[in-house]
Amino acid sequence: MSGPHPRAFVVGHPIAHSRSPLIHGHWLAAHGIPGSYERLDVAPAAFPDFVRGLAASGYRGGNVTLPHKEAAFALADGLTPRAEKIGAVNTLVVGPDGRIRGDNTDAPGFCAHLDQSLGADWPARAGGTAVVLGAGGAARAIVVGLAERGAARILVANRTPARAQAVAALAPGIADAIAWDDLPAALSEAGLLVNTTSLGMKGQPPLALDLAPMPAGAAVADIVYAPLETDLLAAARRRGLAAVDGLGMLLHQAVPGFEAWFGLRPAVTPDLRDRIVADLGG
Ligand code: ATR
């Protein structure tokens, strides 16, 4: 790569908790790339000027986290079709012409994680029905990702039903909203269950769900990664179901950004995972 050392960032408010500098720092060191990945705290009022100033900043782009994902969507000069659909941007890339492209890498990140954990034929598991719990930004990305990968049917359940309907509308003809009370029947035909709610996260109530109706051979994925082993995943293991933790999505969503800014597609390796697990406190 010619020119000055490539620089990228993660921007949020607050930003101290972000693990992205650890992930990208690991890859920069592993590949001997003389670039940098910086943590930037930018308040919401200053974010529009931050994005407008990017072309002249010398940054090649960066990751966007809370609370700026929707603002980044509105401020980018162009969007990938995926980001357009999801309505939120977590990755910005400064083009050679100075235009800022917004992408959402949560969807391919989640799917790449399932590929690595379950094998690439996961969309066909148990007839291809996936049940998604929750209807926030993560659920939007995951429903778009599952539909892109050919899930035959997606059922979305959420505490607030109207939000589940809005998420299901992202995959017309494939996704439907269902009532939380209808989960036992939905689970009986589900090859994949994904928790995108904050239930099970440290400091939150556990997700209490009876997995008994799920068919043998089904998989359960949680996007919560603190703790790594949620009550939901423990229950899945006890039933002999495949259990997929939330850390992989965090690692895999970082891959497309690194490739765009630093010119090399990095791998999600066990040593990277171990490093983040150690940082999370075991
Ligand atoms: P994100 O963007 O990370 O997905 P979010 O938009 O805050 O986060 O969404 C959190 C999800 O967890 C929502 O689906 C929320 O349900 P509501 O849409 O009804 O708010 C769900 N959630 C959070 N706390 C919950 C609780 N105690 N019981 C059930 N669902 C809960």
The answer to whether the annotation marks 204 as part of a ligand binding site is: no
What pLDDT does 1 receive?
Answer: 45
Rounded Cα distance, 214 and 152, in Å: 17
108: its two tokens: 């391919």
The answer to whether the annotation marks 90 as part of a ligand binding site is: yes
Other CB atoms within a 10 A radius of the CB of residue 55 amount to 15
Q: Where in the chain is the domain with CATH 3.40.50.10860?
A: 7-103+253-281
Residue 154 C-alpha to ligand 1 middle, in angstroms?
A: 18
Q: Does residue 134 have its Cβ closer than 6 Å to ligand 1? A: yes
Q: Where in the chain is the domain with CATH 3.40.50.720?
A: 107-244
Residue 253 C-alpha to ligand 1 middle, in angstroms?
A: 21
Which stretches of the chain score pLDDT less than 50? 1
Please name the CATH architecture into which domain 107-244 falls.
3-Layer(aba) Sandwich (3.40)
What pLDDT does 228 receive?
Answer: 95
One of 24, 60, 69, 125 is an active-site residue; which one? Answer: 69
Q: What number does the ligand 1 atom closest to the CA of 159 have?
A: 19
**What type of residue is 60?**
R
Q: Does residue 163 have its Cβ closer than 6 Å to ligand 1? A: yes
Q: Whose C-alpha lies nearest to ligand 1, atom 9?
A: 136
Q: Write the DSSP symbol of residue 238.
A: H
* Angle between the N-to-C axes of helices 255-262 and 20-30, in degrees from 0 to 180, rounded to the nearest 10: 50
This prediction's pTM: 0.94
* Burial degree of 274 (CB within 10 A; 0-12, 13-18, 19+): exposed
What pLDDT does 127 receive?
Answer: 73
- CA nearest 18: which of 38, 48, 44? 38
Q: Does residue 88 have its Cβ closer than 6 Å to ligand 1? A: no
Phi/psi for 10 (5° steps) reads: -120, 130
Q: Write the DSSP symbol of residue 62.
A: E
Q: Whose C-alpha lies nearest to ligand 1, atom 14?
A: 134
Check if the beta carbon of residue 3 is closer than 8 Å to that of residue 237: no
The answer to whether the annotation marks 136 as part of a ligand binding site is: yes
ipTM over 0.85: yes
Q: Does residue 160 have its Cβ closer than 6 Å to ligand 1? A: yes
Q: What number does the ligand 1 atom closest to the CA of 138 have?
A: 4
Q: Does residue 135 have its Cβ closer than 6 Å to ligand 1? A: yes
Determine whether 69 is an active site residue: yes
Residue 197 C-alpha to ligand 1 middle, in angstroms?
A: 5
Q: Does residue 161 have its Cβ closer than 6 Å to ligand 1? A: no
- CATH superfamily, with its number, for domain 7-103+253-281: Leucine Dehydrogenase, chain A, domain 1 (3.40.50.10860)
